[in-house]
Structure 1
């Protein structure tokens, strides 16, 4: 009976972990460029002094769904959407690079371009624009700025966005919300990539599917709790039968 309790407890714990992944996807259903995390159960052998013939089921996150999300027209000059397999490069606090498909670019108080709070990388490093300048981005990633009160012909090129290409196989999702290159410090810039200014790619999370998964996980958890309660009740009845009358 104890084995049944531990088996049901392990299953309930795995369902809770899977529910956390689905909940995180649901919370990011409106985050631009978000890639849904995948969750799955896998068999793990039980190690011990006996013959390894028993296995347990554990939850795992094998990767992310890299399918395209819906692209919407915003008309905002600093919104961009990338081609399939295209990524924007950002600088992380430790000086390394991270990658994101979030095209919602912002300008901070010091004129630095940022995405998700991280400095946006260009060909030569983080990009900055003059204060109060009107910023435009061309399809090849070139950033131009027109100072406040300047004539249209005074527009100047600031730099070019660093865009890299990866199908997702060489990237892993980090706890900081961006992707990191596997086995190398940084990905190379791909000058052939194009983007769509004035548009933004939404999250590829389906709220309906995520809600269905959350309900299914909740029902599985309840079923495991019933197994534990039933086994516990059976153990109590057995103790009463075997106990002194």
Structure 2
């Protein structure tokens, strides 16, 4: 009797976890940069009971496809291709990664993504006031000014862009990705 109750509780917990993931995916479907999560249970073929947790491996997968691209007209909106990731500092100061390219400038004149500071490539990025920004495909940030009928571009900094295979990453509850601990 206790064994069947135990198995029923395991099945109920697995169902609740799946429902939680599905509801989170649906709630964030229109969030910029959101990556859908899946959980798969892989069973050892020699074991007949799927709910025997000793013989089952649970794996998390993420849908890292780029999704629909929308032209926003903002010069602070980026698209990160393939295995490329933007590097940010999370609220604990830890390095994290995101595909969300909706950049904003905070009150301290720093670039942020969802209130997480964007990390520069060997530099601190401070955006001066009253300039037009241009972000190149290699992550270089320049200011564009028109001086005496000449366009002058000045380098401000560079975004820290990294190439990371998806199997090396795990998503945290804050929506950011981190390197798996080995």
TM-score range, shorter chain: 0.7 to 0.9
Deviation string for 1:25-56 (max 9, x for gaps)? 11111122221111123459xxxxxxx99762
Deviation string for 1:130-156 (max 9, x for gaps)? 124322212222111257xx7464542
Larger % of helix: which? 1
Structure 2 CA distance, aligned partners of 1:53 and 1:31? Answer: 40
- Whether the 8 Å CA contact 2:123–2:157 is kept in 1: the answer is no
Structure 2 CA distance, aligned partners of 1:153 and 1:97? Answer: 36
* Rg larger in structure: 1
Greater relative contact order (CA < 8 Å, ≥ 6 in sequence): 1
Q: 1:117, CA displacement in angstroms?
A: 1.0
> In the alignment, what sits opposite 2:40?
40
Q: 1:128, CA displacement in angstroms?
A: 1.4
> In the alignment, what sits opposite 2:73?
75
> In the alignment, what sits opposite 1:134?
132
Deviation string for 1:35-91 (max 9, x for gaps)? 1111123459xxxxxxx9976256945232223322222221000101111100112
Larger % of strand: which? 2
> In the alignment, what sits opposite 2:62?
64
> In the alignment, what sits opposite 1:22?
22
Computed over aligned residues only, the root mean square deviation of the Cα atoms, in angstroms, reads 2.8
Q: How does 1:101-112 map to 2 (within 5 A)?
A: 101-112=99-110
> In the alignment, what sits opposite 2:167?
169
Structure 2 CA distance, aligned partners of 1:31 and 1:127? Answer: 25
Equivalent residue of 1:122, what SS? coil
Structure 1 CA distance, aligned partners of 2:42 and 2:22? Answer: 17
Q: How does 1:1-245 map to 2 (within 5 A)?
A: 1-43=1-43, 56-57=51-52, 60-146=58-144, 151=147, 153-183=151-181
Q: 1:53 to 1:158 in 2, by over 3 A?
A: same
**TM-score in terms of structure 1 length:** 0.62
- Whether the 8 Å CA contact 2:124–2:157 is kept in 1: the answer is no
- Whether the 8 Å CA contact 1:40–1:62 is kept in 2: the answer is yes
Structure 2 CA distance, aligned partners of 1:10 and 1:93? Answer: 34
- Whether the 8 Å CA contact 2:25–2:36 is kept in 1: the answer is yes
Deviates more, 1:162-171 or 1:124-133: 124-133
- Whether the 8 Å CA contact 1:97–1:180 is kept in 2: the answer is yes
> Unpaired segments of 5 or more residues in structure 1?
45-51, 185-245
> In the alignment, what sits opposite 1:224?
none
Aligned length in residues: 175
